[in-house]
Amino acid sequence: MDKEVRQLVDMGVTPAQARAALKKYKDVMEAAEKIFAGDFDNVNEVNTDRAQRSQANSGASDRAQDVNMNDEDDDEEIEEDEGSDAYMDYFSDDDGGQPKSPGAAKLNDPYAGIFFSKDRREEVIEVEEEPVFVAVPECDQKLEVMTQGKWMAGCPEGSEQTFLFSLYSQLSESQLSSVDGICPCPSGCGQSVKRQQSDFFAVYPDFTTYIKHLRKIVPRTCTKCQTEFCLACGEKISQQTSDPLWHCSNLQGVILGVGLYMIEKQFEQQKEQIETRDTTERESKRRKTRDSDDDDYPTQKKGGIGYAGNVKEDSSGQAEVQAIQFAKDTRIQNLLAEVRVYLPSLQRAGGARSSDYLPHPSSLTHLRRRFNLIASELLRNDSLADMSDRHGLYFELLEWLETISSHESLCSMMPMPIMKSISQQTLVKKTSNSPTRERKIIYEGSPSPRELLEAIALQAQAALKGLECSKAPEDPSPEPTEEQKRKAVHDTKGKSKDTLPDNLDETAKLYSFCDRLLATTVQIDRSLRELKGDEFVKRMHESLPKAYTSASDTIYVDAGDTEDDAKEAYVKWASSSRFEYCDLTIPATDESDETINYKHYFNNEIRMLANSNIPKRSVAIAKELAILTTNLPIAWDSSIFLRVDDTRVDVIKCLITGPEGTPYHNGCFLFDVFLGANYNQSPPSVKYMTTSGGKYRFNPNLYADGKVCLSLLGTWTGPGWVPFKSTLLQVLISIQSMILCEEPYLNEPGWASSAGTAASRAYSANCRRMVVKAAMLENLQNPPEPFEDVIKTHFRLKARSIQRQLDEWLREDDGRALASDGGEYSGPGRNSSQSSSNGFKADIDTLKGLLRDL
């Protein structure tokens, strides 16, 4: 019965319900119909297991009441299921410390101890057949026919392969069986019709033509007894059936399979075009660079930041690229909308059909292996702004997710890991007729649709906060209700929801898109809660990505016993701590002053913009926050941390840890950032704060007075800020990678050709002395707000590594005195003595003591 149980579980029922229904109704489809009708709603794992054990051990009636025995039996049965049932492969048997024994907790939570796990790999052999083309009356050209190999490609699940194979064999002729493809008259008159592969599996130029073709061939009339029947299932067609394509679940399965194949094919074609275009552009740039070597642009050797020239960014052709992208998105959007009509839906306009209540088993298979891959590609887009600009395509994607999550037999795929191909190997198998190509493909679990959606939802929440915080408090318009907020995108009478009105300004469009996206996540969770229970959804949320934490959420992170443990702990901690909202205000001392002060270098500029409402600036800040919440770089080698004021999201403080391999390694460098009145038409204001009170100049581009020289900020020559395209994240990464670089000496104009010289080495040695004194020691002794916890945790988790780094720096030190201006090289090389008399060793010893205290 295991096979039948797996089939029912794939439809969305519980194993207990499946076993109980199959015991009473031997036919799988009949059992499924009774389950969905509610006949087995009161069945759960506990009473089913006890009943089975009671029947198997009729001589020991008291065993069902023995708690210890029940615990052992339950554990044994779970282990047996995990070894034999394919559906259990999606779950991990790690319950996070929760008991598996049946009791009150299990009665309330039948899924206790079970959650979807990505730690899974499957190896599958797929047959690669020669393409087949057929001529059809509706088209002037021959059409591709989905072979059995293409129909079943991308499916790593054994039970699902059975469903696909069965439906394909039933609806097409086969050389292996004389029964496949035969559709007998249901009246029993003896007549039959031979189904051809091209009847259901021909890939037409567009989906509409394919549907017209099916409407033409599906209704059949027996030439002998004049009985009307369906070519897909072979059963009689009722006279009341208005559309023959809703007659049976077989049609639903094949329409979704072919339709999703069309979408996948078009999507892959567009990806190939983009990759080809990108390759062409890169090659074109390389040719221009080679040609310029002989002209006005001499070849630059290793030279620091690389933006000290007069080259300007070429922004021509952007409008053309956007128009091409819009046309491609529209084609995919329209195709998705056409295929979505045939998704199982109990909220269908005009009432649900029989296949909506009882979908074909292959429907879930098609969605998991084809739609999931398309959805994952779109949801991996790390730019909420780009999604909002392409809202038509993304609104249609959200419609799919909402429709799927609303159906109880499909909803389970939302938290289920997407099995993606990670490698494939082509094999050639010799046969008597011709060689058969096979592919060995390895599939691996990857983030689920719900997990991918969460990453975008975090950006949407940040964007909405940016829009709200940028509003003037004096705004006379009342706060809209949740219903009013969703009015532009949530019509309840079947109106189109795949576009936004053209007359909406950019603020309203971004607001509506974010609100719609968050509404989709709420609906998915609500459906899962109804199907799986509150505890299941709670465990799912605990495994979803988190964009940021608050000070109240701070917890101690253990560095572990080895450096590998420390690296893992560091990345996990930094990922949850890189972005936080906090209070950067200064408590008022004068009650008459109503304008708030901030712990920030740009306090005066911030106060001047209090209560301002600049719509374009608000949208730019909202998009910026959306990017920053999930895209700040985090690594053991170097990370970027941000703190944003809770009520003024244009007020920002940043901490960058120095990259490995540079004289800035593991130092903590602070910057005050303000998104001014003209942001994003103009770059942000950035001030460097780790200067020991204006004493030290760490880099030719980091002045002792806090000035940051960077072309993006307009304080240096080279490609500058591009309005509404450049971002604060670009600025921060440029500082991290181009200014805090391996040889800072080369950043000074005129010194770019001095790589590896004694002067460059002396400059780096002096930088290391400044880093230890100011960016390490002073930051630990007097941690600046609001990064005290970040700085202490950074040094504590990396203490062992930093101590080795300090020993190496001391050995490499040249013994010169600390120079506050960067220490341009003058005089002979390193002192002959291995000891340091310049105070460097004393600073290192003090720092090591603080590290040991941590």
Q: Which are the catalytic amino acids?
A: 709
Residue 435: partners with Cβ closer than 8 Å, 6 or more residues away: 428, 429
Helix (H) or strand (E) holding 420: strand 418-429
Query: Three-class SS of residue 657?
Result: strand
- Here the tokens at position 294 are 């002989």
The Cα–Cα gap between 303 and 272 comes to 36
β-sheet with 436-446: strand ranges across: 121-128, 436-446, 418-429
The Cα–Cα gap between 845 and 840 comes to 9
* 467 close to 619: Cβ distance less than 8 angstroms: yes
* 596 close to 582: Cβ distance less than 8 angstroms: no
* Residue 173, Cβ density class (10 Å: 0-12 exposed, 13-18 middle, ≥19 buried): middle
Across 74-218, the runs of DSSP E, i.e. the strands, are: 91-92, 115-116, 121-128, 132-134, 143-145, 182-184, 192-194, 202-203
The pair phi, psi for residue 92, each rounded to 5°, is: -105, 145
* 777 close to 846: Cβ distance less than 8 angstroms: yes
- Here the tokens at position 636 are 């053991």
At how many degrees (to 10) do helices 615-631 and 449-469 cross? Answer: 140
The pair phi, psi for residue 126, each rounded to 5°, is: -115, 140
* 609 close to 602: Cβ distance less than 8 angstroms: no
Residue bearing tokens 């909420």: 384
* 754 close to 762: Cβ distance less than 8 angstroms: no
Residue 666's region, left for phi above 0, alpha for psi from -120 to 50, else beta, is: left
The Cα–Cα gap between 13 and 48 comes to 14
* 464 close to 454: Cβ distance less than 8 angstroms: no
